[in-house]
Amino acid sequence: MVRRRATPRANRGGRKSAVKPVLEDNDDRRFVRPNAISPHLFCPICTEVFNHPYRAPCGHSFCFTHVVRASLHHDFILESIIGDYSVACPWRSLGCSFIGALHLLASHKKNCVMNPDLLPEALRVRELQALQRASSSSQLSEMAFASSTTSSNNTASTNTTTFSASEIDAAVETPRRATASGAGDGGVSVTIDSNGDDGA
């Protein structure tokens, strides 16, 4: 699926109009299968998947934010290829089940029922706090997975949730989607879907 974007065109005065790309925060890009992304789609400067790739006259591509704009051209081909990879909604931990192509994410975020910006003020504060708890919980869960491989008793514990060595091995060996949410007692609840499909 190829997206069409506005390109700079000459105006009546003969000058090119400056079309500035809308830079999205990389934190919103949660690829469902990050290991399946081609190594050719990573920026050599930041080593992340290209974010608004621009091509230099030499043919190399870089993220827009890493280079001086002189003599660079927007690399629509790379952006379209990356835009076809599946991502999950950034508010998945709040309950949104959207998984779709990256180029559809901006449109989805504007209408997502879990978007804290679209909620009434009273709910917005509560959901933002839940999102922060879920974010910190997922970081703790990732640390638990990492520390489990060096643990002497073959278990990893994060607050009140304990993972056995076989659960960790199964989670590491199979493609998965993991969601974490904070429990009311300060514990962490982690759900791992290891069916291997990306929902697309």
43 contacts 63 by C-beta, under 8 angstroms: yes
Domains of the chain, CATH where assigned:
26-111 (3.30.40.10), 120-193 (no CATH)
Does this model's pTM top 0.85? My answer is: no
pLDDT band at 86 (very low <50, low <70, confident <90, very high): very high
List of long-range contacts for 176-180, beta carbons under 8 Å, 24+ apart? 177/32, 177/88, 178/138, 178/141, 179/92, 179/93, 179/134, 179/138, 180/93, 180/134, 180/137, 180/138, 180/140, 180/141
Tens digit of each residue's pLDDT (9 = 90 or more) over 30-44: 889 889 999 999 998
Q: What is the pLDDT of residue 101?
A: 93
